[in-house]
Structure 1
Amino acid sequence: MITFLCALAALIIGYFVYGSFVEKVFKPTDKPTPATLHNDGVDYIPLPAWKAFLIQLLNIAGLGPIFGALGGALWGPSVYFWIVLGTIFAGGVHDYLSGMISEREDGKSISEVVGLHMGDITLLLMRVFSVILLILVGTVFMTGPAGLLSKLTGVTVTIILPCVLLYYFLATLLPIDTLIARFYPLFGICLIVMALGIMSGMLLGVGGHTMPEMQLANLHPKGADMPIWPLMFITVACGAISGFHSTQSPIIARCIKDEHLGRPIFYGSMVAEGIIALIWAAAGITFYDGTNGLAAAMAKGGAGSVVYEICTGFMGGDGSLTGYIGATLAMLGAIACPITSGDTAFRSARLTLADWFRVNQKKGVNRLVFAVPLLAIGGILSQMNFDIIWRYFSWTNQTLAMIVLWTGAVYLYEMKKDSKAWLIAAIPATFMSAVTFTYIIQAKEGLQLGTNISYPAGLAFAVVCIILFARKISQK
């Protein structure tokens, strides 16, 4: 319990201390924002700060801080270490820079932002990469909540899935304040109840469970076959750093009314997601009394079943009406996370394609041109095995985060050549370069080579990235 509370405190302190430092480095201005300059009533709409924060949080907090955190918990409480350091020094920086750079460039999609600072070849790669990632995200965040809703209601997934798909279609197509801004406050309440309720259940020892203390040992049931480096760093994606977030940040970059709101909205929502991931990682190993019990539960019923058991166990275990309502709200919070990321994933894919082909999105027919094929592809992919899609999503996600961090480093160098401001992005970018390359060399969905090859290869790739970055800024 003590190390969990320390990790929780570190995340909160990190927001105020390192978040303030990142903001000071970036230096927000009082210039008019895209929301006020290009208000079109569809995508560029000035929103209140609280609503912008809530939408950003729900946009980024998909299945990652729940399913990903539970997967990461299989390595034991060492996952706390990555969630805390990743959120403060990598994820928060990544989300803040992607949102603020987009805001300064008229709310452009992240692929356009990267291309502007990294060159035409990178622009093309990022456009394709981003659209593929967003479709994968929309798909996994479609099938995941469908399964959770099925657990909660008893209705089959085959009936629920088309309903989720229809909602995604409307959220992709309609102005942002028609569905998203209206319903997100309700989803946000469920999310907060979920996080606070499960954390309270753990801290109060509901069910007689004891929270384990953090240690750096690999406690994965498969032992050395599942090394912490780099597998845990890919598995816990959205709860520490996530490239998907950079595709969502431009949505809110088009809606904030003041650059000074960037830290609470972008960096703050990443810290909030880190807290959610920390709670779920702790809940997994606490509720099942260790990693062996968690692994057995995951193997038996999947992550969706584990989420259901934890919610009902920590919040509805006494069988009372209050407990039942609490457990239901917790489940709705777990469902809200992926639904509110899946809808904006497809929306962001539409905006990315619109920026790519220079198609104005004020007219409904122009939005339909992109929305229909995107949702059709997502519907087809939803019939595939969830675990396969999730594995490819995780690596693609972290690779995008690495690219965006390098872009942020270039941007900061361009902005402040006489300082070392670029280090706040270059250091985590180097780390993620090693993580992603090591993983794809080693993993089942990659080359499946041993650690004697993958570890040196990952280190070598990180060095190559540093050299390419040095060449890039020398040309500025």
Structure 2
Amino acid sequence: LLWIVLGAIFIGGVHDFTSLVASVRHKAASIGEIVKRDMSRTSHVLFLIFVWFALIYVIIAFTDITAHTFKTVMQEMAFGPGVAASSILYLLLGGLMGILLSKFKVKLWIATVIFLPLVLFVVWLGPHLPASILNLLSSISVKQWDVLLLIYCFIASVIPVWLLLQPRGYLGGWLLYLVVIIGLIGALFGGFKIEYPAFNTVELKSLVNAKLIFPILFITVACGACSGFHGIVSSGTTSKQLAKESDARIIGYGTMLMEGLVAVLALATLMRLPQGAETLKSDPNIVYADGLARYLGLVGVSFNVAFPFALLAFSTFVYDTLDVCARLARYIFQELVGWQKSKTGIFFSSIVTLLLPLLFLIFTKEKGYLVAWSIFGTSNQLLASLILLAISVWLIKTGKKAMYAILPMVFMLVMTLWSLVLQILPFLKSLTTGVAVKPDTLISGICGIILFILSILLVFEAVKGLAVKRKV
């Protein structure tokens, strides 16, 4: 809880806000372009490689998480097909809203009044569709959902932003506000007690270490406190949609605080459970949806309505990230190979970007993404530290105060490099002892070595870049 609150205020908020402002000051350039301009071309290539692989893993993990959400079963009730149906209808609403706003010039407030009630309607409608439709959705396996979701990601990554991502994100924002407001009312005034131990290392299981909070806490709890993914979205994407630079404060810093609040609410769904509760044996989406449904019960919403609503909220948060991530990874790949101005490059970049997740998800067992979950957390937080590193270089070279970016950068860099070392050591030990290497140890070890080397090289390039006069 302390990490979420303090991290969001002093690290995550600073990271998101400064990356957004830096992009605006560089004419809405991506963070990669900022690295090239203020550090070096070598740094630019290294950074793009790092970011692209980090985004690939986000796509893998979030695709599989969403697929499992669509197969959710609780208390012998199959909620997943209803959530899948609501999700599909929700996406169709986003596309329709985009067409009305862009092609028919419908005013935003009118579209909001029309489509927000429709979003709530499809949340209810999904589980109440004809049994034939729900049975069809129920027959789709997790692996098949993985493929279908990646096809959706391909479509979302190549069509105009106004057609789907922007209106869908807008509607998702309202859904987020509704979840947070009602959830907080339930959490604060529902009479729930804190049952889970405030400090618990007994059940802490990690490839990184046994019972050590440092650095595992800071690489595991990410988006609610600090996330490098936010910096990639802020630079080059969010920056192009600002009406004026001063909006960066509320959009960059303010929304990070809002995400911290979402994380606190998610934590609250766990805190109400006693240690050893049966629900804790379920997937995280079940824990979250069950807790949120209990909170919604305070305002008179029945569990059978609240639970699928909470699952849809969960899946919305995830695939909002998923399709945006696919688009960003496509941008990064185009920038890396020089296909920015090629129309065919858009399609080929998307295919290459999504081919790796497709192969991984097809040829691994269910929840295969968990094999490298710890390295994912580390790479995301390491990305945040490297973005703060680039911003610090830019601030110093332009004669501005930089300590507010340097201090969180140093903290995150130390935590993430420490985590990488702890993940590399079991791999190196297995090589020297001749013991068979487990898949998670192998992936974490090899990826950890690559990420560690890339990070050290980028730090070296940053120091070298400070000695070079900035090009105006």
TM over 0.5: yes
The structure-2 alpha-carbon separation of the partners of 1:437 and 1:117, relative to structure 1 and needing over 3 Å to count, comes to same
2:35 paired with 1:114? yes
2:157 paired with 1:172? yes
Give the superposition deviation at 1:361: 4.9
Determine if contact 2:39/2:466 at 8 Å carries over to the other structure: no
Distance (Å, rounded) in 2 between the aligned partners of 1:437 and 1:355: 27
Residues 229-252 of structure 1: CA deviation (Å, up to 9, x unaligned) = 111011011111111112111211
Following superposition of structure 1 onto structure 2, how do residues 56-95 of structure 1 map, counting pairs within 5 Å? 80-95=1-16
Give the secondary structure class of the aligned counterpart of 2:271: helix
Give ranges in structure 1 of 5+ residues lacking alignment. 1-79, 450-461
Distance (Å, rounded) in 2 between the aligned partners of 1:149 and 1:360: 35
The structure-2 alpha-carbon separation of the partners of 1:321 and 1:422, relative to structure 1 and needing over 3 Å to count, comes to closer
Give the superposition deviation at 1:193: 2.7
Distance (Å, rounded) in 2 between the aligned partners of 1:124 and 1:378: 22
Distance (Å, rounded) in 2 between the aligned partners of 1:179 and 1:466: 38
2:251 paired with 1:255? no
Determine if contact 2:62/2:322 at 8 Å carries over to the other structure: yes
2:397 paired with 1:399? no
Q: Percent identity?
A: 25
Give the superposition deviation at 1:393: 1.3
2:308 corresponds in structure 1 to: 328
Give the secondary structure class of the aligned counterpart of 2:177: helix
1:246 corresponds in structure 2 to: 231
Distance (Å, rounded) in 2 between the aligned partners of 1:313 and 1:444: 42
Residues 199-256 of structure 1: CA deviation (Å, up to 9, x unaligned) = 22222336xx3036996x5555349932111110110111111111121112111222
2:391 paired with 1:412? no
Distance (Å, rounded) in 2 between the aligned partners of 1:445 and 1:392: 13
1:333 partner letter: A
Distance (Å, rounded) in 2 between the aligned partners of 1:222 and 1:94: 28
1:46 corresponds in structure 2 to: none
Determine if contact 1:100/1:259 at 8 Å carries over to the other structure: yes
Determine if contact 1:316/1:323 at 8 Å carries over to the other structure: yes
2:234 paired with 1:307? no
Determine if contact 1:315/1:324 at 8 Å carries over to the other structure: no
Give the secondary structure class of the aligned counterpart of 2:181: helix
Distance (Å, rounded) in 1 between the aligned partners of 2:176 and 2:426: 35
- Give 1:376's match in structure 2, choosing from 343, 355, 368: 355
1:153 corresponds in structure 2 to: 80
2:45 paired with 1:124? yes
Give the secondary structure class of the aligned counterpart of 2:331: helix
Give the superposition deviation at 1:446: 6.2
The structure-2 alpha-carbon separation of the partners of 1:467 and 1:393, relative to structure 1 and needing over 3 Å to count, comes to closer
1:50 corresponds in structure 2 to: none
Give the superposition deviation at 1:104: 2.3
1:293 corresponds in structure 2 to: 276
Give the secondary structure class of the aligned counterpart of 2:285: helix
- Give 2:320's match in structure 1, choosing from 334, 340, 344: 340
Determine if contact 1:198/1:283 at 8 Å carries over to the other structure: no
1:136 corresponds in structure 2 to: 57
Q: Which moves more between the two structures, 254-263 or 160-169? A: 160-169
Give the secondary structure class of the aligned counterpart of 1:150: coil
Distance (Å, rounded) in 2 between the aligned partners of 1:317 and 1:386: 36
2:11 partner letter: A
The structure-2 alpha-carbon separation of the partners of 1:444 and 1:198, relative to structure 1 and needing over 3 Å to count, comes to farther
Distance (Å, rounded) in 1 between the aligned partners of 2:285 and 2:162: 30
Distance (Å, rounded) in 2 between the aligned partners of 1:371 and 1:82: 36
2:414 corresponds in structure 1 to: 434
Give the superposition deviation at 1:190: 2.5
Give the superposition deviation at 1:127: 1.1
2:258 paired with 1:275? no
Following superposition of structure 1 onto structure 2, how do residues 20-39 of structure 1 map, counting pairs within 5 Å? none
Give the secondary structure class of the aligned counterpart of 2:24: helix
1:221 partner letter: E
2:334 paired with 1:354? yes
Q: Could you say which structure has the larger radius of gyration?
A: 2
The structure-2 alpha-carbon separation of the partners of 1:214 and 1:424, relative to structure 1 and needing over 3 Å to count, comes to farther
Name the count of aligned residue pairs.
372
Distance (Å, rounded) in 2 between the aligned partners of 1:218 and 1:322: 33
2:355 partner letter: A
Give the superposition deviation at 1:314: 3.2
Give the superposition deviation at 1:91: 0.8
Distance (Å, rounded) in 2 between the aligned partners of 1:404 and 1:345: 17
2:345 partner letter: N
Distance (Å, rounded) in 2 between the aligned partners of 1:262 and 1:317: 36
Normalising by structure 2, what TM-score? 0.71
Distance (Å, rounded) in 1 between the aligned partners of 2:282 and 2:43: 41
2:405 partner letter: A
1:41 corresponds in structure 2 to: none
Distance (Å, rounded) in 2 between the aligned partners of 1:230 and 1:275: 22
Distance (Å, rounded) in 2 between the aligned partners of 1:304 and 1:198: 15
1:15 corresponds in structure 2 to: none
2:214 paired with 1:229? yes
Give the superposition deviation at 1:328: 2.6
Distance (Å, rounded) in 2 between the aligned partners of 1:354 and 1:119: 19
Determine if contact 1:172/1:371 at 8 Å carries over to the other structure: yes
Give the superposition deviation at 1:423: 0.1
